[in-house]
């Protein structure tokens, strides 16, 4: 006997998804759309956003887009004001923007760290601060931050990403404490290596050096995890949709690691 599919209660919910022009952000937007949500996608590239809006509509949602630079307060305000103005409010925020440059710690310019913090850490915080008042009006809201596994696993070459992500983890807990009493749930997803175009671009140099193609390198990375493979962006989108849903009722200030079991620290 087959069970009935879970109703996530997202039909008609009003969502903002950042970094939604590609990769994990795009998959988060589509996962919400499949549940009937209204989705405002934002990133810098208007052409890519337009394509995602079409995908959102085709998937069963109602899409709109706002092109903005989320490293500035004005850019963050533009997104929230435009989305709330058109949709009548904001129920869900999924923060997925932010890809930091890497450099070895012995040669790392602090400017690269500043870049990472501006977009990912400060952008996530500003957007959260801006949407929470809208959520308080209905005593209901969901914020999902995509932080990446590097926050808990620093390495000499990924410090900008690691610092930005660990900031998000701490910020998520503090925001959750501040907003939980208003029916607002704020959590983090920490993906490990995920099969996105950005991951492929980053692995290209390694693949070329080793005389392999990117598929072989991705497969080798995946085999080093208990799961035996890397994560697919659609899988992150599915978890984000659940955390953003009415079906998720008692998860506050938590971090969900999607790294194929590769994380060794406890908790």
| pLDDT tens-place string over residues 177-229 | 999 999 999 999 999 999 998 888 888 877 888 888 888 889 999 999 999 99
Determine the pLDDT at residue 1. Answer: 40
| Model pTM above 0.85 | yes
pLDDT bin (cut points 50, 70, 90) of residue 30 is very high
Q: What pairing do the DSSP bridges indicate for beta strands 14-18 and 38-43?
A: parallel
DSSP, collapsed to helix, strand or coil, labels residue 64 as strand
Q: Buried (b) or exposed (e) across 207-222, using 16+ Cβ within 10 A?
A: beeeeeebeebbeebb
Strand partners, 191: 258
In this structure, are 113 and 155 located in the same domain?
Answer: yes
Of all residues in the chain, the percent with pLDDT exceeding 70 is 97
In this structure, are 221 and 241 located in the same domain?
Answer: no
In this structure, are 146 and 225 located in the same domain?
Answer: no
Task: Answer yes or no: are the C-beta atoms of 260 and 227 closer than 8 Å.
Answer: yes
In this structure, are 189 and 207 located in the same domain?
Answer: no
Determine the pLDDT at residue 25. Answer: 97
In this structure, are 65 and 49 located in the same domain?
Answer: yes
Mean per-residue pLDDT of the chain: 92
Could you check whether the bond before residue 63 is cis, i.e. omega within 30 degrees of 0?
Answer: no
Q: What percentage of the chain's residues is helix, strand, coil (to nearest 5)?
A: 50, 15, 35
In this structure, are 38 and 159 located in the same domain?
Answer: yes
In the chain, DSSP assigns E strands to 14-18, 38-43, 62-67, 92-95, 141-146, 184-191, 255-258
Has residue 106 been placed in a domain? yes
Residue 111 sits in a domain whose CATH number is 3.40.50.720
Has residue 187 been placed in a domain? yes
**How many structural domains are present in the chain?**
2
In this structure, are 86 and 122 located in the same domain?
Answer: yes
Give CA–CA dist 202/208, Å, rounded. 11
Determine the pLDDT at residue 238. Answer: 97
In this structure, are 243 and 156 located in the same domain?
Answer: yes
Has residue 266 been placed in a domain? no
Give CA–CA dist 149/208, Å, rounded. 25
Q: How far is CA 76 from CA 3, 18, 126, 141, 158, in A?
A: 42, 10, 7, 18, 26
Q: Phi and psi of 251, rounded to 5°?
A: -125, 110
pLDDT tens for each residue of 114-161: 988 998 999 999 999 999 999 999 999 999 999 987 767 778 888 888
In this structure, are 21 and 33 located in the same domain?
Answer: yes
The boundaries of the domain holding residue 254 are: 14-194+232-258
Is the model's pLDDT at 4 over the cut of 60?
no
pLDDT bin (cut points 50, 70, 90) of residue 5 is low
In this structure, are 185 and 209 located in the same domain?
Answer: no
Give CA–CA dist 71/74, Å, rounded. 9
Average pLDDT over residues 52-72: 97
């Amino acid at each position: 006997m087959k069970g009935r599919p879970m109703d996530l209660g997202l039909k008609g919910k009003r969502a903002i998804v950042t970094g939604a022009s590609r990769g994990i952000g795009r998959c988060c937007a589509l996962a919400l759309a499949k549940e009937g949500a209204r989705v405002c996608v934002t990133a810098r590239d208007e052409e890519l956003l337009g394509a995602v809006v079409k995908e959102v509509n085709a998937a069963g949602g109602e899409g709109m887009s706002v092109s903005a630079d989320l490293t500035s307060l004005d850019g963050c305000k533009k997104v929230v004001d435009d989305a709330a103005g058109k949709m009548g409010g904001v129920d869900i925020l999924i923060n997925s923007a932010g890809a930091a440059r890497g450099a070895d710690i012995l040669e790392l310019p602090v400017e690269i760290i500043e870049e990472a913090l501006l977009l990912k850490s400060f952008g996530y915080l500003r957007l959260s601060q801006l949407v929470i008042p809208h959520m308080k009006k209905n005593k209901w809201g969901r914020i999902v931050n995509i932080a990446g596994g590097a926050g808990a696993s620093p390495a000499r070459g990924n410090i900008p990403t690691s610092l930005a992500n660990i900031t998000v983890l701490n910020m998520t807990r503090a925001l959750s404490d501040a907003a939980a009493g208003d029916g607002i749930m704020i959590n983090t997803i920490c993906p490990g290596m995920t099969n996105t175009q950005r991951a492929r671009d980053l692995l290209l140099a390694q693949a070329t050096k080793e005389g392999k193609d990117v598929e072989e390198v991705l497969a080798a990375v995946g085999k080093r995890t208990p799961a035996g493979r890397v994560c697919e962006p659609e899988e992150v989108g599915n978890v984000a949709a659940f955390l953003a849903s009415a079906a998720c009722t008692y998860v506050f200030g938590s971090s969900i690691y999607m790294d194929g079991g590769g994380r060794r620290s406890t908790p």
